[in-house]
């Protein structure tokens, strides 16, 4: 297996362009802090996370900040068929396989293949996933590049190339946002607008039924800005954990608008753009007394995730956009995070 090169060690890195400062670790290619100013210039760290790499290794059950794969979200009963072969994956979420299995891309050390300073500082992480890893077929080379493209924007470009076998690939960035500051309590007062007029409704095990449900006149309607907490009690279960089908509306840098998030207390705003077909809107329903950065304790709804992605269980749903990638073809997934204050 070894190429002779020493295995990379888990470290922290920083990108700073004078307005946005991001710390990352190559363990899970994760964002560990992200500092942005409010309208008065006050800077806060707006992502949930841990102070030490050890905590990411040992305590990151919520998937704070990391990239998940080989297939993000849930695969029904951890099974799928591809080219006449049945594949079986680890079951780690009720009866399903979640976020790549027991040791997904969030639980490995990626190598650092490029770092750039200057006006557009960036870092590129790379991971080579092998055939049979967590039950998935074929070797896949994955890269993730984080780049501060302007004083207001961070871009993430994820790519994956299967070397020798057809395989499903669906990467997601699992950062938990709290624009008032990671240690400021819950996000129920945050205003959210999602550019998706349908969701993929789910069964009792959080697996999509295959249908598309218009959000109009339901608790899932974020087509216009509204408070996270305004209809959350009407959602079955503990809160939002649903895939929105993104509309192909307004574009920026070739990417479509996903969501706008605003914290009224600080006036910080995040606009997110992507080229993927869906976004999982998740309100940290299962975060419960997690010891975070600087002595903060994160409770339920202490952050929100906007995980752009292929649809959950797409490998078993022929009417969902395909997540299957052929050897030599390239999976691509970009996200643009635009920060402002208003």
Smallest CA-to-CA distance from 129 within 102, 154, 104 is with 104
DSSP string, 58-125: HH-TT-TT-EE-SB-SEEGGGEEEETTEEEE----BTTBEETTSTT-GGGSBPEEEEEE-SSS-EEEE
Range list of β-strands (E), 130-284: 140-148, 153-162, 167-168, 172-173, 176-177, 191-194, 198-199, 213-214, 226-227, 241-245, 251-252, 255-262, 268-274, 278-282
| Contact yes or no for 331/159 (Cβ under 8 A) | yes
CA distance 297 to 290: 5
- Residue 273 burial (10 A CB sphere; 0-12, 13-18, 19+): buried
pLDDT the model gives residue 7: 80
Among the options 174, 182, 190, 333, which is catalytic?
Answer: 174
Q: Which helix (H) or strand (E) holds 57?
A: helix 53-59
Among the options 134, 159, 307, 338, which is catalytic?
Answer: 307
CA distance 334 to 145: 9
Distances (CA, A) of 333 to 163, 261, 278, 291: 18, 21, 11, 31
Annotated binding site: 73-74, 174-176, 241
> Which residues neighbour 84 within 8 Å (Cβ) at sequence distance 6 or greater?
none
pLDDT the model gives residue 5: 59
In the residue annotation, 40 being an active-site residue is answered as no
Annotated binding site for beta-D-galactose: 73-74, 174-176, 241
Interior angle at CA 319, CA 314 and CA 324, nearest 5: 45
In the residue annotation, 307 being an active-site residue is answered as yes
| Contact yes or no for 144/120 (Cβ under 8 A) | no
Smallest CA-to-CA distance from 212 within 224, 202, 204 is with 202
List average pLDDT for each run of 10 residues in the chain, which is 342 residues long: 67 98 98 97 98 96 98 98 97 98 98 97 98 98 98 98 98 98 98 98 96 97 98 95 93 95 98 98 97 98 98 98 97 98 94
CA distance 338 to 273: 8
pLDDT the model gives residue 2: 44
pLDDT the model gives residue 250: 81
CA distance 94 to 135: 18
CA distance 337 to 293: 22
Strand, helix or coil at 293?
helix
CA distance 23 to 277: 28
């Amino acid at each position: 297996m070894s190429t002779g090169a020493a295995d990379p060690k888990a470290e922290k890195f920083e990108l700073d362009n004078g307005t946005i400062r991001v710390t990352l670790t190559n363990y899970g290619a994760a964002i560990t802090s992200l500092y942005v100013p409010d309208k008065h210039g006050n800077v806060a760290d707006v992502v949930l996370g841990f102070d030490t790499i050890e905590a990411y290794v040992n305590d990151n059950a919520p998937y704070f900040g990391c990239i998940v794969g080989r297939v993000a979200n849930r695969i029904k009963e951890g099974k799928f068929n591809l080219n006449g072969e049945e594949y079986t994956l680890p079951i780690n979420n009720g009866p399903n396989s979640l976020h790549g299995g027991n040791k997904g891309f969030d639980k490995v050390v990626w190598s650092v293949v490029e770092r750039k300073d200057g006006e557009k500082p960036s870092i590129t992480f790379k991971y080579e996933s092998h055939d049979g890893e967590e039950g998935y077929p074929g070797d896949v080379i994955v890269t993730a590049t984080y780049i501060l493209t302007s004083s207001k924007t961070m871009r993430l470009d994820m790519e994956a190339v299967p070397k020798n076998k057809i395989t499903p690939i669906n990467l997601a960035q699992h950062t938990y946002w709290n624009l008032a500051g990671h240690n400021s309590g819950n996000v129920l007062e945050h205003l959210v607008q999602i550019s998706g007029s349908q969701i993929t409704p789910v069964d009792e095990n959080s697996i999509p039924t295959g249908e598309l449900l218009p959000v109009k006149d339901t608790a899932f309607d974020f087509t216009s800005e509204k408070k996270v907490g305004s209809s959350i009690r009407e959602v079955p279960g503990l809160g939002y954990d649903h895939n929105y089908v993104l509309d192909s509306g307004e574009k920026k840098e070739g990417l479509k608008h996903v969501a706008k998030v605003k914290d009224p207390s600080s006036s910080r705003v995040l606009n997110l753009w992507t080229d993927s077909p869906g976004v999982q809107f998740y309100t940290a329903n299962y975060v419960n007394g997690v010891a975070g950065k600087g002595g903060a304790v994160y409770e339920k709804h202490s952050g929100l995730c906007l995980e752009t992605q292929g649809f959950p269980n797409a490998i078993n749903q022929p009417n969902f956009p395909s997540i299957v990638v052929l050897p030599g073809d390239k999976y691509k997934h970009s996200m643009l995070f635009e920060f402002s204050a208003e």
